[in-house]
């Protein structure tokens, strides 16, 4: 299921700087969530396993089953929406998993995704939004008219934006000493810009649902892009400082305006 992936050049330097000793593995097959039977097979490859559990009362009413399974005491890694590279701190050392869906993608783009995961892992932030919002997950759900799937997608997007407020400082600093990775970061942002430019209109006309729009806009934070209304209010020092509290207040104000 797993094969070690060697890192060289700029990527090796990123690992040394941000997540020393992190294990990087190629996965044999794609996944959204690795259940206990597969996740525990990492045991022989790492020094230790430390599965995360969360109190069930943190979960909002009608939370998706996958979130209940993740919060429970079964060892799981990865969740829907995580993308082609997943990191976990439930192993010692931390582990970065590369999914086969990235085969055929430009090498520079894959390297950026790996670098992004290594930088995030080095921040010692939770690996999932449930560990970020904690008991206020229910408050976030109550602030939206969305169904459980839409609320999940919005929560994941909001956490992505919060992480991006921290990681982009690193990416900006790559211009001189990590030029290849910096160029890949810039290129990924440039590919995203046209979607962001049209996003407000797409939401207003119903062409793009709000959770999907949030996912796109919040991914722009890590690329230091101008975000369309109402998402620009997430690209602030206040969000970086107040985290979940700010995100919930923003959600309440945003849906009040949308419903008005």
Non-local CB neighbours of 79 within 8 Å, separated by 6+ positions: 32, 33, 66, 67, 70, 128, 156
**Residue 204 scores a pLDDT above 90:** no
Which domain covers residue 94, as residue numbers? 2-259
The model's pLDDT over 116-127, given as tens digits with 9 standing for 90+, comes to 999 999 998 999
For 8, the enclosing helix (H) or strand (E) is none
Reading the block at residue 76, the tokens are 């799981």
Closest CA to 120 of 246, 33, 227, 222: 222
Tell me the whole-structure pTM to 2 decimals. Answer: 0.96
Question: What span, in angstroms and rounded, lies between the C-alpha atoms of 174 and 240?
Answer: 21
Q: What is the pLDDT of residue 39?
A: 93
Assess whether pLDDT exceeds 80 at residue 228: yes
Return d(Cα 10, Cα 180) in angstroms, integer. Answer: 8
Q: How many CB atoms lie within 10 A of CB 165?
A: 19
- The per-residue pLDDT of the chain, averaged, comes to 95
- pLDDT digit string, tens, across residues 178-193: 999 999 999 999 999 9
Give the chain's length: 260
pLDDT in tens, 127-162: 999 999 999 999 999 999 999 999 999 999 999 999
The two three-digit tokens of residue 145, written as one number? 């008219």
**DSSP labels for 73-128?**
SS--B--TT--SEEEESSEES-EEEE-GGGTTS-HHHHHHHHHHHHHHHHTT--SS
- Which residues does residue 97 pair with via DSSP β-bridges, in sequence order? 25, 86
Q: How confident is the model at residue 1 (pLDDT cuts 50, 70, 90)?
A: confident
Tens of pLDDT along 28-55? 999 999 999 999 999 999 999 999 999 9
Query: Count of domains in the chain?
Result: 1
- How far is the CA of 196 from the CAs of 34, 83, 193, 234, in angstroms? 32, 19, 5, 14
């Amino acid at each position: 299921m797993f094969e070690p992936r060697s890192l060289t050049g700029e990527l090796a330097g990123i690992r040394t700087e941000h997540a020393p000793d992190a294990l990087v593995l190629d996965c044999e097959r794609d996944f959204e969530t690795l259940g206990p039977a597969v996740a525990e097979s990492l045991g022989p490859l790492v020094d230790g396993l430390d599965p995360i559990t969360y109190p069930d009362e943190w979960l909002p009413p009608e939370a998706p089953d996958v979130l209940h399974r993740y919060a429970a005491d079964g060892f799981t890694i990865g969740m829907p929406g995580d993308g082609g590279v997943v990191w976990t701190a439930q192993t010692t050392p931390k582990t970065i998993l590369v999914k086969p869906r990235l085969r055929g993608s430009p090498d520079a783009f894959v390297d950026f995704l790996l670098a992004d995961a290594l930088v995030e892992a080095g921040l010692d932030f939770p690996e999932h939004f449930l560990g970020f919002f904690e008991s206020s997950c229910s408050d976030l759900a109550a602030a939206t008219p969305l169904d459980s799937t839409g609320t999940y997608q919005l929560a994941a997007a909001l956490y992505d934006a919060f992480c991006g407020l921290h990681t982009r400082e690193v990416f900006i600093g790559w211009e001189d000493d990590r030029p290849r990775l910096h160029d890949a970061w810039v290129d990924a942002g440039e590919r995203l810009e046209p979607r962001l430019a049209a996003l407000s209109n797409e939401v207003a006309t119903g062409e793009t649902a709000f959770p999907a729009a949030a996912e796109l806009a919040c991914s722009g934070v890590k690329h230091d892009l101008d975000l369309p209304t109402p998402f620009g209010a997430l690209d602030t020092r206040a969000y970086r400082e107040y985290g979940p509290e700010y995100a919930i207040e923003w959600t309440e104000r945003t849906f009040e305006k949308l419903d008005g």
